[in-house]
Amino acid sequence: MKHITILLFSTFLISCNQNVQTQKDNMQKSDSIYATELIDHEFLKYADSSKLDSLKIQLKNSFDIYDDDNFKITHIDAEELAEFNFDFFIPNLNKLLEKRQVNLKVKKLNSDNNSFDILINEDTIQLYSQNDLDKSLFWDTAPRNFFKKVNEIIKTKNIDEQFYLLYAGNDLHTLLLTDKQFSIISEYYKNNEKEKPYKP
């Protein structure tokens, strides 16, 4: 009886290990399928040719869309943006945009602490309102207003990409994607809302 119990337990463990391995294999297949679709839809169009092979491998092995070398993503930090610290992220944002022949010049309109207006390439926008500040919504409102305006600017240049936001607060990032690339990434993360990019 003891031998039968050990045999059954061993069989159960082997079966569990096989199921775990099958799940891992399926996830890798899934990563590879979505990654191939992203690559086919020019996700790595602006990547440096010397890094193209390694970026493709990262994408296919672990759906790594977060590498700065793909020229699709950069860290923003909603706090820095809301506090008008544009030097924190504009240089890296411009690295993405320079590949598309666009450049942003951003500054606070004036030094008045009660003004929330900024200039983006000579266009004035209100980053957030006093009401947003009073209700502690400004970390959410500022990036949305900022990137809505930047999306308007890049649309005038006939660029088929737009900025989407990813995460929030100090972890806020932005992804520059075509509609199809956004659709592929959203489908990949359909069961993980916090990893999905979202419109500003």
Q: Report pLDDT digits (tens) over 172-188.
A: 999 999 999 999 999 99
- Distance between CA atoms of residues 181 and 200, nearest Å: 16
pLDDT of residue 111: 84
**Residues 6+ positions from 124 with CB-CB distance below 8 Å:** 109, 117, 118
Candidate from 28-37, 104-113, 151-160 with smallest mean pLDDT: 28-37
Q: Where are the alpha helices (DSSP H) in 135-189?
A: 138-155, 179-188
Q: Does 98 or 22 have the greater pLDDT score?
A: 98
First to last CA, the chain: 65
Q: Is the pTM of this model over 0.75?
A: yes
Average pLDDT over residues 84-98: 97
- In this prediction, residue 24 carries a pLDDT of 43
